[in-house]
Structure 1
Amino acid sequence: MITWIIHIIIISSLAFLVFRKLKTSLPTWMFWIGLVMKISAGFVLGWIFYEYYGEGDTISFFEMAKSFDDFATEEPRTQFFIRILTLLVYLSGGSYWITSAWLSFISFTAAWYATSQFSKAFPSIKVLTASCFLIIPSIVFWSSGILKDTLAFAAMMVLIAAILKWYKRINITVYDFIIAVISGYLLFHLKHYLIITCLIFGGLLVSVSLIKKVKSRWKWIIAAMVLALSLISTQFVHPYLKVEKLSWTIYETNRTILEKSDLEGQLDIEIKDASILAVIKEVPKALHAGLFRPSIYDKTPIWGWLHRIENFILTILIIMSVSLYFKRNPPVDTPLFVSALCCILLLAIMLPLATPNFGTLVRYKNAYMPYLFLICSILPYHYLSSKTKE
C-alpha cells in the first residue's frame, strides 16, 4: 500500500508539472480525464489478459522484465523493450499495475505534448485534436499499459509534433530537440517501419512545400532531390525493409501470421508468393482493411464491437469530408495534407498486408488512426460548427 501511495503522489505531481509546462487553452478537464482514461485503460488491458486469456504479450513482457531476462526472446526489438521495462519494474517494486501506470503516463504525456503543439499550430481545431489524440477509446486502449505499442505510440506522437513545429516555424527549444532525438531512438529500435514513415513524411513535407511556395524554376528538381534523399535514407533503417527485400519480408510475415491465426481472426489477405506482383494484387483489399475493418459486418470477438463502431463513424466522416471538400472547396494546407495523407495510406496498405489478423491489425493501426480521425473530422467539424452558429 505504501508503494502505491508513493507512486500515486509522484505521478500526480509530474502530471501537474506537465499540465503547467504544456499550457493550452483547452478545458482543464480534458487533461485530467485523458490521464485517468489512459491509466485506467492500461489496467483494463492487464485485467483482460490475466483474467480471460491467461497469457499474452503484456504478461510475457512483464515476466521477462521481472526476471531480468531479456534473452528469453531472440527478437531484438522485444529485447530492447524488455531492458527499458526492467528498470520500470524494478522502480515499481515488481508490481505489474504500477509499471502499467507509468507506461500509460508516459504515453499520455507524449499525446498531450502533441496536442499542445497541434493546438498552437491550428487553434481552431484544438478541441477536435484533443478528442482524437486523448479520448477515442481504441486509440487510448492500445496505447496504454505494458506493450511495445505504448512506447512506440508515445515516440511517434513526439516526432510528428516536432516535425509540425518545424514546419509551422514554432519555436523549437532545446527540450523539444532532446525529446525528439530520444523519441527517434526509441522508434528506431521498437518499430522500424514507423521511423521510415517519419522520414518519408518529413521528405514529402519539404518537397511539397518547395513546389507550393518556391517560385524558382529549379523547384521541381530540388523537391525531387529532397524526396529521393529521404527515400534513400529509409534503406539504412533495417536490411529486411530495403526495396529489394520488401516484397519477400511482407510475404513471409503475411504467411507466418496466417499460420498462427484462427479462421475467425483472419483477414482475407493472402499473398501467394514473394513476387512484387503478388503483393500488389492484394493492395486494394489491404487498403480497405487498413481504413475500414473490422467493419460492422465482420465477425470478431466481443471486444471487436468497439472497433466496428469506430470504423463505422470513420466511414461516415470520410464520406462527409469528401463531399464537403468538393462542394465547398475549402482552403487546405496542401503540403501538410498531402504528406500526412500519403503516409497514412502507406501504413493503411502495408500493415494489413503484413499482419492479416484482426487482433494484430487493430493494435498496429494505432500508429496512424489518431491522424486519420483528425484529418477526416476537420471539414465535418467546421461545417457542423457553422450550422450551430446560424
Structure 2
Amino acid sequence: MKLLLIFAGNGLVLLGLWRWLRAQRQLPSLGHFVVPALGLRLLSGSISAAVPSADAVFFQLWARRFTQQLWAEPRAWLRMLTQDEFHYAGQSLVYHGHSNTLFLIKLLSALNVVTGGSLWLNALYFSVASFIGCWYLVRVLSRLFPGTRGAAIVGLLLWPSALYWTTGITKESLLLASGAGLLAVALRLLYGGASRRAGLLVMGGLLLAVLQFKMRFFFGGVLLAGLAGLVAVRVLELLGLMRRRWQQTLVFAAVIGSGLWLASEVSPVFRFNKFASQLTRTYAGLREKSYGRPYIDLPHLAPTAESMAGYVPKAVASALFRPFIWEGDSLFYGISAFENLLLLIIMGVALLDVMRRRQGPLPFALLLMLLTYCLALAALLGLSTPNLGTLSRYRASWLPLLVYVLLSQPTVSDWLRRLRLFGIR
C-alpha cells in the first residue's frame, strides 16, 4: 500500500509538472526561461538535501515519527493536527502557542506519504513549491508591467541568497511561495481587470494567506496590512477619487494605522508594550549567542517607542547591507558581503533616478506598498535579529521584492535590457 502511494503519487506529480512546464514554455518572452530557472531551484534544493541544516534534520526526524502515527493511528493523527502536542510510541513533542515549527512538521508528515520520508524528495517538493509561487508572480508582473520583466526574473528567480535559502526543507521556502503567490493573486484582481476566475483567485488567496500566517505570523501581518492599504488606494483610484501621490500616501498610511489599532484591540500580541518587550527579549537572547562573530550592536535598546525609533535607521541599514566586505572570515560572509555590495549599488542608482525624477513603470501605490513591506520587515528583523547569518536567512522571503523594485527603476532596467542576460529583455 505504501509503495503504491509513493509510485502513484510521485507519478501523478511528475505528469502534472510536465504538462505545466509544456504550457509555461509557450509563454512569449518567458517560456524559454522556465526550465533553466526550475533547474536552478532543484539543484539548490538537492545541495541543501546533501548537506542538510540542523533545522532540516530536526524537521525530518519528527515528521517521520508523525507519519508513523498516521499509518498506525490515523484518527489520532487527525486529532493531533488541531493540537499543539504530539504523543506517540513514547515520543512527545510539545509547543505552546502557534508554532510554525510544529506546523511545518505536520505538513512534512503528510508529504511523507508520497515521498516515503525521503529528505531529498521532500527538499525537492519544497523547492518546486517555492519556484511555482515565484514563477506565478513573475508571470503576473511581466503581463501587467512588461517593462519590469527582467527585474522580476532576476529578483524572484536568480537573486543568490533567496535562491539558496528558499529551497530545500526550510520555512523560508513556504514563506516565499505563499507570499509571492498571494501578492500575484492580489495584483491580478487589482490591476488585471475583470476575470471569470475571480472566485477561484480569492479562495486561493485566502489559502495562501493562511499559509503565510502559519509560517511566520508577523510577516503575514505586515503583508496583509500592506495589501489592505493597496486595495483601498486602488479602489479609490478606479473611482477617480485618488490620483495624486500625496493623497494615495495619506490613504495608505491611514489604512495601515487603522489596521494596527484594530489588531491591537483584537489580539494582545499586537499591542505595542507586548510587542516591544518580546522584540527586545529576542534581540538580547540572540546577541548572547553572537559574540565572537559579526552582529548588529544596539547597546541601549529598550522596549520603548523612543529607543526603538532611534535604532530603526541602523537596524534597516544593517538588515540590508551587512555583513560588509571587511566583516567575517568565511566563504559565507564573503558571498553575502558581495551580494550586499551589489544591493547597495543598485539602490544608489535607483535613488539617483528618483532625484532626477525618472519614473519607472510601476504604479505609485504598488511601489509604496512594496517598499513599506520590505522596509518594515527590515526594521523588525534588524531590531530583533542581531546574528547576521540568521538575518540573511530571515530576509530571503522578502528581499526578492525589494530587488525587483530597485531593478525596475529606469537606469538599472536599461542595463538589464542591454545585457540581454539569459534572454532577458
TM-score under structure 2 normalisation? Answer: 0.80
State the partner residue of 2:184. 161
CA contact (8 A) 1:283 1:349 kept: yes
Corresponding residue of 2:116: 93
- 1:169-318 equivalence runs, <5 A: 169-170=192-193, 171=195, 172-209=197-234, 214-215=240-241, 226-235=255-264, 239-299=268-328, 301-318=330-347
Q: Out of 320-329 and 94-103, give the one that drifted further.
A: 320-329
Corresponding residue for residue 38 of structure 1: 41
**Structure 1 residues 328 and 364: alpha-carbon distance in aligned structure 2, compared to 1, 3 A threshold:** same
Determine the structure 2 residue equivalent to 1:116: 139
For 1:257, the aligned partner's letter is L
Q: Structure 2 CA distance, aligned partners of 1:157 and 1:107?
A: 9
Long gaps (5+) in structure 2: 67-84, 87-91, 421-425
SS in 2 for 1:24: coil
**Any runs of at least 4 consecutive aligned residues in structure 1 with deviations exceeding 6 A, and if so which?**
2-8, 210-213, 219-224, 385-389
Q: Equivalent residues in 2 for 1:72-83 (5 A)?
A: 72-74=93-95, 76-83=99-106
Deviates more, 1:345-354 or 1:232-241: 232-241
1:43-58 alignment runs, 5 A limit: 43-49=46-52, 56-58=54-56
Structure 1: stretches of 5+ with no match in the other structure: 50-54
Cα distance, 1:215–1:136 mapped onto 2, change above 3 Å = closer
> Structure 1 residue 17 and structure 2 residue 19: aligned?
yes
* Counterparts in 2 of 1:269 and 1:17: CA distance versus 1, 3 Å: farther
Deviation at 1:177, TM superposition (A): 2.4
Q: Distance in 2 between matches of 1:263 and 1:39?
A: 35
Query: Which deviates the most, 183-192 or 16-25?
Result: 16-25
Residues 24 and 282 (structure 1), Cα distance of their counterparts in 2 relative to 1, 3 Å cut: same
**Alignment pair present for 1:346 and 2:344:** no
SS of corresponding position for 2:327: coil
* Higher RCO, 1 vs 2 (CA within 8 Å, ≥6 residues apart): 2
SS state at 1:263 partner: coil
Alignment-derived partner of residue 62 in structure 1: 60
- Alpha-carbon distance in structure 2 between the residues aligned to 1:146 and 1:386: 35
How far did residue 211 of structure 1 move? 7.2
1:28 corresponds in structure 2 to: 31
- Answer yes or no: is 1:370 the counterpart of 2:409: no
Mark the CA change 1:45 to 1:236 in structure 2 (over 3 Å): closer, same or farther.
farther
Instruction: Tell me the SS of whatever aligns to 1:299.
Output: coil
Contact 2:229 2:256 (8 Å CA) reproduced? yes
Which residue identity lines up with residue 17 of structure 1 in the other structure? R
Is the contact between residue 240 and residue 249 of structure 1 (CA under 8 Å) also seen in structure 2?
no
Distance in 1 (CA, whole Å) between partners of 2:419 and 2:174 is 39
**In the alignment, what sits opposite 2:348?**
319
* CA-to-aligned-CA distance 1:295-342 (integer Å, 9 cap, x gap): 222215322222222111111101111112322532552111112111
Distance between the aligned counterparts of 1:191 and 1:131, measured in 2?
A: 25
| AA at the equivalent of 1:90 | V
Amino acid paired to 1:351: L
* Range 191-200 or range 276-285, more displaced: 276-285
| 8 Å Cα contact 2:385-2:391 kept in structure 1 | yes
**Cα 1:242–1:42 shift into 2, 3 Å:** farther
Matching residue's letter, 1:362 = S
Task: Give TM-score, length-normalised by structure 1.
Answer: 0.87
CA drift of 1:287 comes to: 0.9
Q: Output the CA distance in 2 between the equivalents of 1:322 and 1:222.
A: 24
Change (3 A) 1:387 1:203: same
The amino acid that maps onto 1:184 is A
Distance in 2 of aligned mates of 1:154 and 1:272: 33
User: Are the counterparts in 2 of residues 344 and 368 from structure 1 also a CA contact under 8 Å?
Assistant: yes
The amino acid that maps onto 1:235 is: S
Aligned partners of 2:304, 2:334: CA distance in 1, in Å? 36
Question: How far off is 1:147 after superposition?
Answer: 1.2
Over the matched positions of the two proteins, sequence identity in percent amounts to: 22
The alpha carbon displacement at 1:362 in A equals: 0.5
Instruction: Give the 3 Å change call, closer, same or farther, for CA 19–85 of structure 1 in structure 2.
Output: same
RMSD over aligned CA atoms reads 3.0
**For 1:26 and 1:5, how far apart are their aligned partners in 2?**
35
The number of residues matched between the two structures is 382
Secondary structure in 1 matching 2:95:
coil
How far off is 1:367 after superposition? 2.3
Deviation at 1:149, TM superposition (A): 1.5
What amino acid is the match of 1:32?
V
Alpha-carbon distance in structure 1 between the residues aligned to 2:242 and 2:40:
50
- Report the 3-state secondary structure (helix = DSSP H, G, I; strand = E; otherwise coil) of the residue aligned with 1:282: helix
Change beyond 3 A, Cα 1:27–1:215: closer
Change (3 A) 1:97 1:265: farther
Deviations 1:12-40 (A, max 9, x none): 42323333555632343421111111122
